Amino acid sequence: MVSPRYTVQTPVEPAHELVRKYNIPGPRYTSYPTAPQFSADVDRPALMAEIVADNRDASRPLSLYFHLPFCESLCWYCGCNTVITQRRASAGEYVDLLCQEIALTQPLLNTARPVTQLHFGGGTPTFLPPEEIDRLGRAINAVFTFAPDAEISVEIDPRRLTKAHVQAYRRLGCNRASLGVQDTNPEVQMAIHRWQPLAQTAQAIKWLRDAGYQSVSVDLIYGLPLQTEASFAKTVEEVIALNPDRLAVFSYAHVPWIKPAQKIFDQRNQLPSTEAKLAMLTAATRALTAAGYAHIGMDHFARPNDELAIAHDNGTLYRNFQGYTTRAGASLYGFGMSSISQTDGSFRQNFKDLPEYEQALKQGILPIERGFLLSPEDKRRRALVMDIMCRSRVDYPTLSSRLDVEVAATYASEIDSLADLEADGLLARDATGFDITPLGELFRRIIAMRFDAYLDRGPRKYSKTV
Ligand code: SF4
């Protein structure tokens, strides 16, 4: 039964004091534990044993991720793991490395497990010329078996796209695409070093639709230099007119200690205030819901008949490294530099630097830089954190039966610690659980942080939550 109660929420504008109070650094919880907890000192034999054990469970499908890191120029806000180059030969050399990694991984894999999800991210996946996309597709299809309804998606930079790229990824099976847009205002685009006329974005969407892609998503970012509530409202209006199936409206993550190019925004004093960011998000949410989009999780919007909206309503939404997804319960295999892989009991991440990634493969070893083995307690907290990030209600009896512990008693102190969030109207507790209110939607990360056992270990190097 689909409940419209949470699907199209009335946007609620929190008071500025509330935003100031809760706008603190925090994880985005695309995983729990989060990536900063992964360690090069992980017990590698135990990690490999976990991967082998995971492969015995044929009931778990596979999700694949390919990281294609090259970009021709750097967008100054970028937080991704990229390699900036105009050297075209890099593409073919990198596909060679990916083929080597697939070959090294294959003996570990039970390839009878169907692939239900495949994502090409970056970087700029269309840095690869069409013939290299085809070659990569052949290498993937030679090893993996795809479910008939597999979701195969690619990140598109409309500035670096040709019709031939669209067709090459379609030949590879892509049925979804997400387009980086960020902001349509020319002054903002100049300030972030990403010049992208709206007509170019419209052209990319037309090519994708003509080629048969079922779903086209647009990514926007609020909190960029020179943005104002009015300018961002215009961006949202212009993007709604392009009629995407989904939108992601991300908060700009300002982390200049990790991404030095972002320092220029501080030097030029161009970043909007927290209050202005909030006004942008509120206006965007209002415009998108008025245009008929359902608000999914913190930063995603989708047409109400989109499978993401349906999953949100029926409680099957999940969160992974690409954001919100409908494909829960899969083991993730990441390929390429910096990519992350996941089984039920482990994470592992490849080398973040291309030379190290390449060197490991040339030595015939898997390019794993660091990893993490989850304890039973980590898995229980992961279930709690994922429910907070993906559901409208955290229900103790349901979780208790899944986790084999009495949740209300085991996490009594964490639940007690929610009192101030409840007093501020972010959630409403009762004897068997708590509901996240429309006001709390913006602060899901803050609520989840109360159940994160690792927050106090080591310096917090996260972006702010609003
Ligand atoms: S195109 Fe995307 S990945 Fe590349 S620099 Fe710009 S934002 Fe970063």
Single-letter code of the amino acid located at 301: F
Residues contacting residue 442 through CB under 8 Å, at least 6 positions apart: 14, 281, 298, 466
Ligand 1 near 158 CB (within 6 A): no
Ligand 1 center from residue 218 Cα (angstroms): 14
Closest Cα partner for 392 from 440, 345, 321, 356? 440
Choose one of 76, 77, 80 to mutate for the ligand 1 pocket test, by most ligand atoms within 8 angstroms of C-beta: 80
Q: pLDDT tens digit string along 37-51?
A: 999 999 999 999 999
pLDDT given at position 80: 94
Note the pLDDT of residue 168: 98
Nearest to 73 by CA among 220, 168, 196: 196
Residues of 14-33 as b/e, b for ≥16 C-beta within 10 angstroms? beeebbeebbeebbbbebbb
- Please state, as a whole number, how many other Cβ atoms lie within 10 Å of the Cβ of residue 398: 16
Give the Å distance between the CA of 388 and the centre of ligand 1. 30
* Superfamily grouping for domain 34-335: tm_1862 like domain (3.80.30.20)
pLDDT one-digit tens code per residue, 337-390: 999 999 999 999 999 999 999 999 999 999 999 999 999 999 999 999 999 999
What distance in Å separates the CA atoms of residue 4 and residue 91, rounded to the nearest whole number?
46
Between the two ends of the chain, the Cα-to-Cα distance in Å is 32
Quote the CA–CA distance of 81 and 96 in Å, as a whole number. Answer: 19
What pLDDT is attached to residue 18? 83
Q: Give the ligand 1 atom nearest the CA of 155.
A: 2
Confidence (pLDDT) at 296: 85
Residue nearest to atom 6 of ligand 1 (CA): 75
156 lines ligand 1 (CB under 6 A): no
Q: Structure tokens of 462?
A: 């996260």
Q: Which stretches of the chain score pLDDT less than 50? A: 1-10
Tokens of 52: 């082998």
* Amino acid 445: pLDDT: 92
Task: Please give the number of the atom of ligand 1 that sits closest to the Cα of 82.
Answer: 3
Which atom of ligand 1 lies nearest, measured to the CA of 71?
A: 4
Q: Which CATH fold would you assign to the domain 1-31+375-466? A: Arc Repressor Mutant, subunit A (1.10.10)
pLDDT at site 12: 60
pLDDT for 315: 80
Cβ distance 208 to 166 under 8 Å? Answer: yes
26 lines ligand 1 (CB under 6 A): no
Residue tagged 């994880």 (tokens): 27
**C-alpha atoms less than 13 angstroms from C-alpha of 214 in its C-beta half-sphere:** 11
Distances (CA, A) of 83 to 74, 102, 127, 189: 9, 21, 11, 21
Structural domain spans, the chain: 1-31+375-466, 34-335
The CB of 465 under 6 Å from ligand 1? The reply is no
Check if 71 has its Cβ closer than 6 Å to any atom of ligand 1. Answer: yes
